[in-house]
Amino acid sequence: MVAMSTGSVPAISFDRHGPPMPVSPIILSVPHAGREYPAAMLSALRLPIDALLSLEDRFIDQVALTARRQETLYVQRPARAWIDLNRSEHERDPKLDDGADRRTMPTESIKLRSGLGLVPRRIADGGDIWRRRLRGDEVDARIANDYRPYHAALGATLAAARARFGIAILLDIHSMPPLGAPDDAARIVFGDRFGRAAASAIVARAEAAADSHGVRHALNTPYSGGHILDRHARPNQGIHAVQVEFDRSLYLDALLDQPGTGLPAAAVLLRSIIDALADEALSLRTPIAAE
């Protein structure tokens, strides 16, 4: 587990860095960097743990922790292969999960059909992850213990930030494989659910921060954000959300496995994005009835 900074509080399934009553309108989330593989998982796996590392946003939490100052930051501890916080809890895979109920399931997304539902079923290079089907009560327990607590805490902190500052901006931090050669491809991808999750001025400030570092970026292609933005963003109520994907070659070693020499620069870039969003929040916040 990552060593916790001052003000961090351990929880069932995540670490919170910073106070629950936020002192900044910017709230940070790192849902896919978890490196804990619960013991209950090991006996059910068909693949070795090393094969599952491709599902992790490998060490992006280290970038976030280095960049963070006073902002409240949430980092999930269990690995994404255990449960994926960026999927709806109804996206249960009927090919894996005995508790999947097609009557309550939304229309199957491309991700779910490809085996990347609430509990991932397969990975592209390794095939099926699990040696057996999962009982419904097993997945129910993951939802109760490792999924809902994160979303509940994140939602409460966003509401508190909105109440205190008149606005809250969630920055949901992820990483991605390189999209191509560094000179030709975006190395940062911002996602705002095609304009539904954040005011355009907020996204423009994030893009300008990337420009100031000379980093190529894209918007919503190929990543527009997922369930975390859908669930928590309410721009018409003063809660905005932006997903940001960092090319892993920006901050990992040549094998894209361990933190590399580029991590400090990636953290400086993230810090610039946070500062730009905080500055924009001051101009967009709505009046608060009682200070």
Which single residue is written with the structure tokens 């960049």? 67
Q: What is the dihedral of CA 271, 205, 180, 127, to 10 degrees?
A: 70
Instruction: To the nearest 10°, report the CA torsion of 34, 205, 233, 113.
Output: -60
Residues 6+ apart with CB under 8 A from 228: 29, 31, 85, 86, 151, 154, 170, 172, 241, 243
- What pLDDT does residue 223 have? 97
Q: Mind listing the pLDDT tens digit for each residue in 99-149?
A: 998 777 666 778 888 899 999 999 988 899 999 999 999 999 999 999 999
Measured distance CA(87)–CA(71) in Å, rounded = 25
One DSSP character per residue, 60-116 reads HHHHHHHH-SSSEEEEE-B-TTT--TTS-TT---TTTBTT--TTTPPSPPHHHHTT-
Strands 168-176 and 239-247: parallel
Query: In Å, what is the CA distance from 129 to each residue of 33, 198, 219?
Result: 18, 35, 31
**pLDDT at residue 2, rounded to an integer:** 33
Which residues of the chain have a pLDDT value below 50?
1-7, 9-10, 288-291
The conformation of residue 237, written as its DSSP 8-state character, comes to G
- Say what the pLDDT of residue 134 is: 96
Quote the pLDDT of residue 109.
78
List the alpha helices (DSSP H) in the chain.
39-42, 60-67, 110-113, 136-142, 148-165, 200-212, 227-232, 263-284
* Residue 5 confidence (pLDDT): 38
The per-residue pLDDT for 145 is 95
What pLDDT sits at residue 4? 35
